[in-house]
């Protein structure tokens, strides 16, 4: 009865919002749309509030770029993106959510929760459309979850890692995970997937030796030091919760002969990881379509405002990226505009300024050094 009443209230709120928010396009923009192609018309503007786990990482900058791209393609839809200073700044995100929900300034919300259970209580009774992105929120107020099937994606990464370890000459294929925040739903799903993939491919996942590093690179390096101390003989596979952690772990192991052939697996598919893969540092990454994730999350929120039915789960896609397909993957990122600033900096000759001027998009620098003359 409560769910039926809530649904009626939400429907009423959405219908009331139709006059304030018009439709967007049904797919991420292609060149035709950017050139002013035939789009669904928008009416007077609506406002979508996007609250991410953080904006202080390369991965989340891609989600942010995708969300903002929707507004560029649909100018009558205002998109405001914000996030905590880190993935452990719980109080900061809580304050953002509470403030924005009570502000009356937004028609719909897209939220990537740091603590899904807490956010569930914060949004209880809300009638404005809410879409979860990256990490699901198990609440009736959430109309759709846009993200990666983390368990299945990590399983594919685990399988690929075992095959790579065998090809590298490891007879005893054991894997240890350096995970994110303990108890986080996304981190848990990835751990489960890694274990499943490694085991199904014939490897051994050392579940009792999981290291938790709060999704932070520095802590991942410390975790790697502990692993090397506990296993001076070497470990075949290190499965990490994200690419920043995988790169940090690989750097920590550099120079240790026992870990020379270790397979370092990251997750996210950020461009700096591709750079590390091409240089032989990180071995592979389970690449999320983070840009599409941000775009589709805002798109779902707008559709809900218009009274359209939205899928309860929208899979933004994933694939394993290694040295065999990394160039192709970077080209795809470039097509979405995520490499444009790096190329501009490089062609202007400011190679020393790339990391500063280009922010988190400097990972493709070495790619363009190899493929395009500077200046």
Q: Are residues 101 and 117 in the same domain?
A: yes
Q: The CATH number of the domain where 256 resides is what?
A: 3.40.50.2300
Kindly state whether residue 313 falls inside one of the protein's structural domains.
no
Q: How many other β-carbons are positioned within 10 Å of the β-carbon of residue 22?
A: 19
pLDDT in tens, 40-49: 334 358 999 9
What's the CA gap between 236 and 258, in Å, rounded?
A: 9
Residues 175 and 162 in one domain: yes
Q: Are 284 and 353 found together in one domain?
A: no
Q: Is 254 helix (H, G, I), strand (E, B) or coil?
A: coil
Cα 106 to Cα 101: distance, rounded to the nearest angstrom: 8
Stretch (H or E) spanning 82? strand 77-84
In a shared domain, residues 330 and 192: yes
Tell me if the pTM is above 0.85: no
Domain that residue 257 falls in: 150-288+320-338
Residue 178 tokens read as 């350096």
- Asked whether residue 102 is domain-assigned, the answer is yes
Residues 34 and 142 in one domain: yes
Are residue 175 and residue 127 in the same domain, yes or no? Answer: no
Contacts of 299 (CB under 8 A, 6+ apart): 24, 25, 26, 70
Of 319, 221, 330, nearest to 270 (Cα)? 330
pLDDT of amino acid 54: 96
In-domain check, residue 234: yes
pLDDT score at 21: 63
51 and 127, same domain (yes or no): yes
Same domain, 196 and 331: yes
Q: Is residue 227 part of a domain?
A: yes
Q: How many angstroms separate the CA atoms of 50 and 359, rounded?
A: 21
How many separate domains does the chain show? Answer: 3
Which residue in 13, 88, 24, 25 sits closest to 54, CA to CA?
A: 88
Tell me the CA distances in angstroms from 251 to 159, 265, 277, 307, 366, one per residue in order.
23, 13, 12, 50, 18
> Which residue ranges in the chain fall short of pLDDT 50?
1-20, 22-43, 340-375
In the block, tokens 């209580």 appear at 121
Alpha carbon 322 to chain centroid, angstroms: 18
Residue 54 lies in a domain: yes
Residue 315 lies in a domain: no
Confidence at residue 346, expressed as pLDDT on a 0 to 100 scale? 30
* pLDDT for the residue numbered 339: 60
Same domain, 294 and 367: no
Taking the C-alpha atoms of residue 286 and residue 188, their distance in angstroms, rounded to an integer, is: 15
Looking at the structure, do residues 48 and 197 belong to the same domain, yes or no?
A: no
Residues 234 and 296 in one domain: no
Q: Are residues 182 and 328 in the same domain?
A: yes
């Amino acid at each position: 009865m409560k769910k039926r009443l809530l649904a009626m209230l939400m429907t009423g709120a959405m219908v009331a919002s139709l006059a304030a928010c018009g439709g967007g396009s049904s797919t991420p923009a292609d060149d035709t749309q950017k050139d002013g192609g035939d789009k669904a018309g928008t009416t007077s503007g609506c406002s979508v509030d996007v609250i991410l786990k953080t904006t202080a990482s390369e991965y989340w900058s891609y989600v942010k770029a995708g969300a903002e791209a929707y507004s560029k393609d649909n100018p009558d839809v205002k998109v405001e993106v914000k996030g905590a200073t880190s993935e452990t700044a719980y109080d900061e995100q809580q304050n953002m959510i509470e403030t924005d929900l009570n502000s009356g300034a937004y028609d719909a919300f897209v939220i990537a929760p740091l603590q899904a259970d807490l956010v569930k209580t914060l949004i209880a009774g809300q009638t404005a459309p809410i879409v979860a992105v990256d990490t699901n929120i198990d609440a009736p107020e959430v109309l759709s979850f846009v993200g990666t099937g983390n368990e299945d994606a990590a399983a594919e990464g685990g399988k690929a890692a075992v095959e790579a370890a065998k090809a590298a000459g490891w007879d005893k294929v054991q894997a240890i995970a350096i995970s994110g925040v303990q108890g986080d739903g996304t981190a848990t799903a990835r751990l489960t997937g890694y274990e499943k993939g490694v085991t199904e491919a014939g490897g051994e996942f050392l579940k009792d030796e999981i290291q938790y590093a709060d999704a932070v690179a520095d802590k991942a390096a410390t975790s790697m030091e502990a692993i090397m101390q506990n296993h001076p003989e070497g470990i075949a596979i290190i499965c990490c919760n994200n690419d920043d952690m995988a790169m940090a772990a690989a750097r920590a192991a550099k120079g240790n002969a026992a870990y020379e052939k270790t397979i370092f697996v990251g997750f996210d598919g950020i461009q700096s990881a591709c750079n590390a893969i091409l240089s032989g540092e990180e071995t592979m990454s389970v690449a999320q379509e983070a840009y599409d994730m941000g775009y589709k999350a805002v798109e779902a929120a707008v559709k809900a405002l218009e009274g359209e039915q939205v899928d309860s789960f929208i899979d933004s896609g994933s694939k394993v990226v290694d040295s065999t397909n990394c160039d192709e993957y970077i080209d795809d990122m470039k097509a979405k505009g995520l490499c444009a600033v790096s190329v501009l900096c490089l062609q202007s000759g400011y190679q020393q300024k790339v990391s500063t001027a280009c922010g988190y998009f400097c990972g493709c620098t070495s790619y363009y050094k190899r493929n395009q003359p500077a200046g």
